Structure 1
Amino acid sequence: MSVAQFVLLIGAGFAAGLIGYLTGLASLVSYPALLAIGLSPVSANVTNTVAMVAVGGGAVAKSAPELAKKPSQMRVLGLMGVLGGVVGAIALLVAPGESFEAVVPVLIAIASVSLLCQPFVRGLAGGRRFPVLYPIAVFVVAVYGGYFGAGAGVMILAVTLTMSAEPLWRAAMLKSYVLSIANLVAAIGFAFFGPVHWTAALAMAIGGFAGGYVGPPVVERINPTLLRVVVSVCGLGLAAWLARGWV
């Protein structure tokens, strides 16, 4: 890898970290950047997962005091992140991926529409919380996050905003927390059994940590309705891009 490519990946990592915290779409930047320097799709996927651990680490480091205010919630969601990451990593390493990848655009589109319609969905729920269903849904998304990850942040945001009473700024923190754990667990497996490009992962991680770290103070200053709409539209765009292989 050339110095120019290393620097390019640091910049892409920073953009992925910031965009990922704001929208949950870090892989929309990081995955294509890894492909652009010549990595194969599988190598880019596992390298991206390893690098994105730093994105979540930066965001969690900045938002740790706020997250610590609900320790029981952190324990439950952390466990779901660990279990989901393990299952997702195993699925990627041992199972045929074609059938799962075929439904990924549909999953992202559903999450994006749910996020777009979140006020209406919460209205139908009558303001109720779903303390049992919410962790289960987080586990399912964590499995996907450990397996592939693109759009997983959108899914976590949609699940959190529709099944809990958390505001958008805290939902963004929870999203980063869960995905950082799922990515870390998956990354450990990939480190031993996957084709990780470590130099690329290092460059992306340096930028990703910085981008994730500046994310929390930024998201608290953005109009939540506008951010929700932007995330939803970007998520639908990602779903359309991933579905291009259908035609």
Structure 2
Amino acid sequence: MSLHFVDVVRWLWLPVASFFAGALNTIAGGGSFLTLPALFSATGAVGVGAVTAQATNTVALWPGQLTSLVAFRRHLRAYGWKMAPIALASGLGGWIGGRLLLITSNHWFKELLPWLLLFAALMFIVSMPLGKWLATRSGGKRYEVALVIGMVAVSVYVGYFGAGGGFLVMALLGICGVHDIHEMNALKVLTAVVSIGIPALTFILAGRVDWRFCLEMAVLAAVGGYLAARLSPKVNQRVMRWTVASIGLLTAAYFFLQNALMHG
């Protein structure tokens, strides 16, 4: 009876987490905080490795980013080809991050995972005060070359892991003198689509995606992302960021505990 209950929970956990992950990624980011525990539980039950689980998560959540891009298309249209260098930098960094993931062993990725989650959760916590401080550092100047180079570096992290990457992008924009909120949002959405999409394609071509879980997650994340884009102006960003950070800290603690039990 208990085994049957565990199977039911595992069957329900992943689709529910995928839907809300797509919504979170559109509103504040951090969707992986929800999907990774669910996906590791589901894939672990069928003997899938940690790197394949992460690759599957990346591919599954990408459609949610794409639907967000559609929802924000009017803001993107206003900036046009001026965004091309940033998009290219994001693609290069995302590709490097994806390749690094593919050469990481399952053991080492499991060891890194809680630390990556903890880093991402802390980024959510410090993002608001950090953003206000960074807004004062550029002195009104805009540093285009630094922005492109920095975007490559940030996108390596996004391609490798992803969670919290949106806040790294926002921090980079603040340092480099981009302060218009509409342009910041447009750049954040565009860079997410490219820096996640390129490694996602890399994982697909490398055969490292478990399609038994990926397709279901992708559809639900896309629906969640599109609906959330319509509702995002009404959401209290401060409350949402603290909520996401709390989820991230709990997820990190969960994986720290899993690793401790494995070593014990």
Give TM-score, length-normalised by structure 2.
Answer: 0.77
Does structure 2 conserve the Cα–Cα contact (< 8 Å) formed by 1:160 and 1:166?
Answer: no
Match of 1:166 among 169, 180, 187: 180
Is structure 2 residue 99 aligned with structure 1 residue 90?
yes
Is structure 2 residue 156 aligned with structure 1 residue 143?
yes
> Bigger CA drift: 193-202 or 169-178?
169-178
Q: Look at both structures and tell me which one has the larger radius of gyration over its CA atoms.
A: 2
* Cα distance in structure 1, aligned partners of 2:38 and 2:155: 23
Map 1:87-166; keep pairs closer than 5 Å: 87-95=96-104, 98=108, 101=112, 104=116, 108=120, 109=122, 112-163=125-176, 164-166=178-180
The residue number in structure 2 matching 1:19 is 24
CA drift of 1:208 comes to 0.9
The residue number in structure 2 matching 1:217 is 230
Does structure 2 conserve the Cα–Cα contact (< 8 Å) formed by 1:52 and 1:208?
Answer: yes
Does structure 2 conserve the Cα–Cα contact (< 8 Å) formed by 1:21 and 1:212?
Answer: yes
Does structure 2 conserve the Cα–Cα contact (< 8 Å) formed by 1:7 and 1:203?
Answer: no
Alpha-carbon distance change, 58 to 90 in structure 1, aligned in 2, over 3 angstroms: same
For 1:144, give the aligned amino acid. Y
Match of 1:186 among 199, 216, 224: 199
CA drift of 1:153 comes to 2.2
Corresponding residue SS for 1:230: helix
For 1:166, give the aligned amino acid. D
For 1:17, give the aligned amino acid. G
The residue number in structure 1 matching 2:84 is 75
Corresponding residue SS for 1:68: helix
The residue number in structure 1 matching 2:34 is 29
* Cα distance in structure 2, aligned partners of 1:217 and 1:170: 18
1:147-193, Cα deviation, whole Å (9 max, x unpaired):
122222222233234431131x6534432321221222111111122
* Cα distance in structure 1, aligned partners of 2:166 and 2:58: 13
1:13-52, Cα deviation, whole Å (9 max, x unpaired):
2200111111210111111121121344222101001111
For 1:183, give the aligned amino acid. I
For 2:179, give the aligned amino acid. A
CA drift of 1:60 comes to 0.5
Does structure 1 conserve the Cα–Cα contact (< 8 Å) formed by 2:95 and 2:199?
Answer: yes
* Cα distance in structure 2, aligned partners of 1:19 and 1:130: 30
Match of 1:237 among 249, 257, 260: 249
- Which runs of 5 or more residues in structure 1 are unaligned? none
1:69-110, Cα deviation, whole Å (9 max, x unpaired):
101342122111211121111111125684994874675336
* Cα distance in structure 2, aligned partners of 1:235 and 1:160: 26
For 1:92, give the aligned amino acid. L
Alpha-carbon distance change, 241 to 67 in structure 1, aligned in 2, over 3 angstroms: farther
The residue number in structure 1 matching 2:14 is 9
> Bigger CA drift: 106-115 or 40-49?
106-115
Identity of aligned residues (%): 25
Give TM-score, length-normalised by structure 1.
Answer: 0.81
The residue number in structure 2 matching 1:175 is 188
For 1:237, give the aligned amino acid. L
